[in-house]
Amino acid sequence: MDPLSDFIDKAGVCGAFFARARGQAPWAVTTSGAVGAIFHVALEGSGVVRLADAALEESTRELTWQRGDVIVLPHGHSHVMASAAGVPAVAIRSLTPEIGADGLPCVECGVHAREGSPSPGAGGERASILCGTFGLGPEAAEHLLPHLPPVMITRGDGSSLATWIDATLQLLSDERTLGQPGSRTVLQRLADVLFIHVLRVWIAKRQESAPGWLRGLADPGVARALQAIHDEPEAEWTAAGLARLAGMSRSGFYARFVAVVGETPGDYLAKWRMLLARRRLRAGDDAIASVAAQVGYASEAAFSRAFKRRVGTSPAAWRAAQR
């Protein structure tokens, strides 16, 4: 399994649609934020997304979107979705949703909400948006969020990845419109697919961005080493062994890995092992010695020392506190 798939599978990432929104310009709604990532799929219309956090750079606080765009706010920032800049916003919680044929709550805003069924030509451009969240477990948030910006917008630009996203958006739209049995589950699975597509686009376009394991996925040699670590976290990996897999000298590989990922191969291996260990301690009943063996430690004592050094407490105490 490639590292991104492995992360999605093991680290606790789950997409779930929670609402739809329809509007007719002028309209604007504000969302107070969420624990986890928020995303919007623009099925119709255009507008702006404005983040409320004044600490963010001005260039990222307000961005435009149009039909076919996917807007992801990885950190769950409070934000405004609007038909245009400067439109006064209402809190989305103040709007009463109605359950549609697909089982999803839907809110109406703008001219349509104020006037019920406006006459033809009344108001401006119509918008239709699918809204949702990605639930991130503690380990997933820790391993992913530091490497992502406040807002990511994936646009239809004719690339093969954009074509994949367009196809996924069509499936989302069909599921939303048809309301067939099992629609909610299909939407949730498509949300996971959409999230991976967005990450792919972001990785492909930011190969020279700040160091991190996501950037490493775009570097062939580093990616092979990351895949080996994810495939066999229990193996006794060394920098020399990973360098051979990467097709590089030990010194060249070590320097390249640090430059791209931002930490040594050993540090990344230990971090990934601890992520897996914490997930298994929280979710399962395996003995601590068994968990230690599963993540590559020769003894329970060695695992406990490493766990306490990185997490701050013993595995047994941490498991008890989580439960």
**Residue-wise pLDDT tens digits, 128-152:** 898 888 888 788 888 888 888 888 8
User: Is the pLDDT confidence value at 248 over 80?
Assistant: yes
Residue 207 pLDDT level (bands cut at 50, 70, 90):
low
How far is 167 from 186, CA to CA, in rounded Å?
14
Residue 123 pLDDT level (bands cut at 50, 70, 90):
low
Residue 216 amino acid letter:
G
Residue 198 pLDDT level (bands cut at 50, 70, 90):
confident
How far is 304 from 293, CA to CA, in rounded Å?
12
User: Is the pLDDT confidence value at 300 over 80?
Assistant: yes
pLDDT at 120: 44
Please choose, from the candidates 136, 146, 109, 104, the residue with its C-alpha nearest in 3D space to the C-alpha of residue 124: 109
Collect all residues with Cβ–Cβ distance below 8 Å to 27 and sequence separation of at least 6.
82, 83, 87, 109, 110, 111, 113, 127
**What domains does the chain contain, in order, with CATH numbers?**
3-205 (2.60.120.280), 214-322 (1.10.10.60)
Residue 115 pLDDT level (bands cut at 50, 70, 90):
very low
Please choose, from the candidates 274, 242, 264, the residue with its C-alpha nearest in 3D space to the C-alpha of residue 142: 274
Mean pLDDT of 185-212: 76
Contact between 258 and 251 under an 8 Å Cβ cutoff? The reply is no
User: What are residue 78's phi and psi, to 5 degrees?
Assistant: -60, 140
**Residue-wise pLDDT tens digits, 14-37:** 777 678 899 999 999 998 877 778
User: Is the pLDDT confidence value at 206 over 80?
Assistant: no
User: Is the pLDDT confidence value at 41 over 60?
Assistant: yes
**Residue-wise pLDDT tens digits, 152-190:** 888 765 555 556 666 776 776 677 667 677 777 777 777
Residue 122 pLDDT level (bands cut at 50, 70, 90):
low
